[in-house]
C-alpha cells in the first residue's frame, strides 16, 4: 500500500527516480507473495525507467529481479536472457569505476546475486556443468580484479581468463591430478510469517575427477531454517564451538540442537562415494563464503573417522587460481636453486600496537612465546637462524622476503573481513613504519618462495576467517607463491610447534606439502586428540 501511494505521488510530481524505486518495491512485494506475473509487470516498468534515467545500478538489479521472477514463473529461457543482460550491465559498471571505489563492493554483491540466480537457471535447464562455469566465473571475479589492478603492467593477467569454460576446468583437474570439490550456496526469497526474507535454499556441489569427469549434487538447505530455525552459519559455528574455538561472529549462544545436521552430513556425505579411495590422492576443496571457515580435516563421519584420516586435503579460492599456482610452481622450477636464498623463519617479533581486526580498538598485541619456541625449533630443519624479537622489523623482513626459498612467519595475523587487502601480518615496528605488513603491500612484491606458512596466524579477536585470511593468501599467490599454509584459528602453542616440526621433517623426506601436512596432523592427533590442536591449518594452492 505504501509503495502504491509512493508511486502515485511520484507520478504526480513527475519524479522518475522515486517512481522507479516504488515500482522496484512493488515488484519485490509481488515476487515474495508468489504473484510472479505482477512481479514481472512492475519490474519491467522499473527497468524501463532505470534505462531512461541512465541508472545502471538499478538496471542491473531490475534485470536480476526479472531473472528470478521468470525462473519462478517456469520460464528459464526468458530468465537466462535477463540475467545474461544483467551481468553485462554489472561488468560495464565495474570497468567505469576507479580502483578504490566503495561502490565496487556493492556492485560485486549485486553481480554475485545475478551469478547465483543464473546458476539456478542452468540447473533448472538441466545443465549443471554450465552452472559450474557460472559459479566459477562469479567467484574468480574479485580475484581477477585485484590481480588486474595490482599487476604492474596494468594489463590483465593472461593466466586468468574471466570467462572460464568447462574444458578449461577439466584441464585444470587433470593438471592437478586431484579431485576438485566446488561448493556454491544458493539463496531464495521466501514468505516467512508474513515477512519476505532471503534464505539459503540449496547447496550446489560439483566434483571434478582427475580424469576431467564432472558430477553434480544438490543438497536441500531449507530444512535448516524450516525445521531447526537456523541458517548454514549454525552448523559452521557449532562445529567451531565444539572444538573450543571462539570467533567474533559467535556469541557463545549459538543454537546447536542435537539433531542439527553436521557439516559432514551437509558437505561430505552427498559426495563421499565420489572421493578417492587412496588416502594419498589429493582432494581440493573450493569453498564459498562462510564455508571458508570450515575445518575440513576435522569433519567426522558417522563412524567418528576424521576426513584427514581418509584423504589428503587442500583448499583453493577458485578453480582458476589453481591454474595460476601451477604456473607459478613451474616458473619457480625453472630457476636455478642457487638463485634463491635461505629459508626465512620469523617467530614472535616485538609486537606492534594495532587493532586485531578492522575497526577494532588499537592495543599492544600480546607476545607469542610459543611462536618463538616454534621458530627456534624449525629453523635448524631449514638450515637457517630464526629471527626473533627486535630483529623481526618490517624493514628487515620485507628486504629478506624476495630472496627467500621458504617463508615461515609465526606471529599475529590481523584480519580485515571487508576487503581482505587491509589484512596484515604483525612485525616489529621501526623508524617510521607501524610494523604491519598488509596484504596490499604483499601484492606488490615479487616473491620466489615455493612455500609460505602463516603460523599462529590469527589473534583470538579476529573473525575465524573467510576473506580475511583468504586476503593474505591471495596476495601471496599473486606475488608468485604457489603454496600457502594458513591457520583458520589461533592454535595452542605446544601443539602448533609439534605439528610444524613434524611437517618440515616430513617435507624433507617427501616434497609433497599436502601429504607432509596430513602426516603432521595424524602425528599431532596422537598426542593432542582435540582437532582444535591439529585441524586449523589449510594448504592453499599447490601440493608439490
pLDDT tens digit sequence for 411-429 = 988 876 555 566 789 999 9
- Please check whether residue 204 is in contact with residue 184, taking contact to mean a CB–CB distance below 8 angstroms: yes
pLDDT at 421: 62
Residue where a domain terminates, one of 119, 150, 181 = 150
CATH code: domain of residue 47: 1.25.40.10
Residues 173 and 293 in one domain: yes
Per the structure block, which three cell numbers stand in for 267? 558437505
Ramachandran bin of 536, using left for φ above 0, alpha for ψ from -120 to 50, beta for the remaining angles: alpha
Give pLDDT, residue 153.
45
pLDDT higher than 60, residue 442: yes
Are 405 and 494 in a shared domain?
yes
Domain of 436, CATH number, reads 3.40.50.1460
User: 127-131, 314-318, 362-366, 471-475 — which one is most confidently predicted on average?
Assistant: 127-131
- pLDDT at 466 (0 to 100): 39
**Cell numbers representing residue 109 in the block:** 554483491
Q: Answer whether residue 245 is part of any domain.
A: yes
Asked if residue 489 and residue 354 are part of one domain, the reply reads yes
pLDDT, tens only, 128-144: 999 999 998 877 666 65
Q: Are residues 279 and 406 in the same domain?
A: no
pLDDT at 527: 94
How many folded domains does the chain comprise? 3
510 and 423 in a single domain? The answer is: yes
10 and 143 co-located in one domain? yes
- Residues 175 and 146 placed together within one structural domain of the fold: no
Q: Which helix (H) or strand (E) holds 362?
A: strand 362-364
Average pLDDT over residues 78-96: 89
Q: How confident is the model at residue 330, as a pLDDT?
A: 86
Q: Quickly list DSSP for 78-139.
A: HHHHHHHHHHHHHHHHHHHS-TT-THHHHHHHHHHHHHHHHHHHHHHTT-HHHHHHHHHHHH
What integer pLDDT is reported at residue 86 of this predicted model?
Answer: 94
Average pLDDT, stretch 256-282?
Answer: 91
pLDDT-derived band at 394, boundaries 50, 70, 90: very high
Q: Is the CB of residue 424 less than 8 Å from the CB of residue 413?
A: yes
Q: Do 146 and 170 belong to one domain?
A: no
The residue range of the domain holding 253 is 166-315
Q: Which residue has the higher pLDDT, 163 or 324?
A: 324
Amino acid at each position: 500500500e505504501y509503495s502504491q501511494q509512493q508511486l502515485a505521488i511520484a507520478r504526480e510530481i513527475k519524479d522518475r527516480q522515486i517512481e522507479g524505486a516504488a515500482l522496484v518495491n512493488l515488484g519485490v512485494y509481488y515476487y515474495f507473495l508468489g504473484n510472479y506475473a505482477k512481479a514481472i509487470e512492475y519490474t519491467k516498468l522499473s527497468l524501463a525507467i532505470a534505462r531512461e534515467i541512465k541508472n545502471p545500478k538499478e538496471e542491473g538489479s531490475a534485470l536480476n529481479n526479472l531473472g528470478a521472477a521468470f525462473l519462478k514463473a517456469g520460464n528459464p529461457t526468458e530468465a537466462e536472457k535477463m540475467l545474461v543482460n544483467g551481468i553485462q550491465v554489472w561488468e560495464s559498471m565495474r570497468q567505469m569505476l576507479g580502483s578504490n571505489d566503495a561502490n565496487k563492493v556493492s556492485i560485486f554483491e549485486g553481480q554475485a546475486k545475478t551469478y547465483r540466480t543464473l546458476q539456478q537457471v542452468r540447473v533448472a535447464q538441466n545443465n549443471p556443468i554450465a552452472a559450474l562455469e557460472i559459479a566459477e566465473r562469479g567467484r574468480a571475479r574479485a580475484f581477477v580484479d585485484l590481480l588486474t589492478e595490482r599487476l604492474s603492467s596494468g594489463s590483465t593477467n593472461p593466466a586468468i581468463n574471466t570467462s572460464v569454460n568447462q574444458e578449461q576446468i577439466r584441464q585444470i583437474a587433470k593438471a592437478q591430478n586431484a579431485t576438485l570439490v566446488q561448493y556454491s550456496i544458493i539463496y531464495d526469497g521466501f514468505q516467512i510469517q508474513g515477512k519476505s526474507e532471503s534464505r539459503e535454499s540449496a547447496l550446489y556441489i560439483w566434483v571434478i575427477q582427475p580424469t576431467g569427469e564432472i558430477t553434480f549434487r544438490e543438497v536441500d538447505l531449507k530444512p535448516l531454517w524450516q525445521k531447526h530455525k537456523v541458517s548454514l552459519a549454525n552448523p559452521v559455528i557449532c562445529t567451531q564451538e565444539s572444538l573450543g574455538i571462539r570467533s567474533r561472529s559467535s556469541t557463545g549462544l549459538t543454537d546447536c540442537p542435537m539433531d542439527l545436521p553436521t557439516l559432514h552430513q551437509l558437505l561430505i556425505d552427498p559426495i563421499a562415494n565420489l572421493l578417492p579411495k587412496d588416502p594419498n590422492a589429493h582432494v581440493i576443496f573450493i569453498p564459498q563464503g562462510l564455508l571458508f571457515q570450515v575445518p575440513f580435516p576435522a569433519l567426522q563421519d558417522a563412524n567418528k573417522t576424521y576426513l584427514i584420516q581418509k584423504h589428503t586435503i587442500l583448499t583453493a579460492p577458485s578453480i582458476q587460481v589453481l591454474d595460476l599456482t601451477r604456473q607459478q610452481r613451474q616458473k619457480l622450477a625453472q630457476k636455478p636453486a642457487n638463485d634463491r636464498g635461505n629459508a626465512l623463519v620469523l617467530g614472535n617479533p616485538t609486537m606492534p600496537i594495532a587493532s586485531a581486526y578492522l575497526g577494532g580498538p588499537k592495543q599492544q598485541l600480546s607476545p607469542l612465546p610459543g611462536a618463538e619456541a616454534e621458530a627456534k625449533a624449525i629453523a635448524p630443519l631449514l638450515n637457517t637462524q630464526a629471527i626473533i624479537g627486535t630483529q623481526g622489523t618490517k624493514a628487515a623482513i620485507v628486504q629478506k622476503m624476495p630472496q627467500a626459498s621458504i617463508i615461515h612467519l609465526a606471529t599475529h595475523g590481523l584480519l580485515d573481513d571487508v576487503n581482505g587487502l587491509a589484512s596484515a601480518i604483525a612485525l616489529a615496528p621501526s623508524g617510521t613504519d607501524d610494523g604491519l605488513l598488509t596484504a596490499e603491500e604483499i601484492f606488490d612484491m615479487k616473491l620466489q618462495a615455493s612455500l609460505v606458512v602463516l603460523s599462529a596466524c590469527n589473534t583470538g579477536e579476529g573473525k575465524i576467517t573467510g576473506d580475511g585470511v583468504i586476503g593474505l593468501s591471495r596476495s601471496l599467490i599473486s606475488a608468485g607463491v604457489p603454496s600457502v599454509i594458513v591457520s583458520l584459528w589461533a592454535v595452542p602453542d605446544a601443539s602448533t610447534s609439534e605439528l610444524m616440526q613434524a611437517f618440515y621433517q616430513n617435507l624433507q623426506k617427501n616434497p609433497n606439502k599436502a601429504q607432509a601436512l596430513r602426516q603432521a596432523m595424524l602425528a599431532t592427533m596422537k598426542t593432542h586428540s582435540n582437532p582444535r590442536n591439529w585441524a586449523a591449518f589449510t594448504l592453499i594452492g599447490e601440493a608439490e
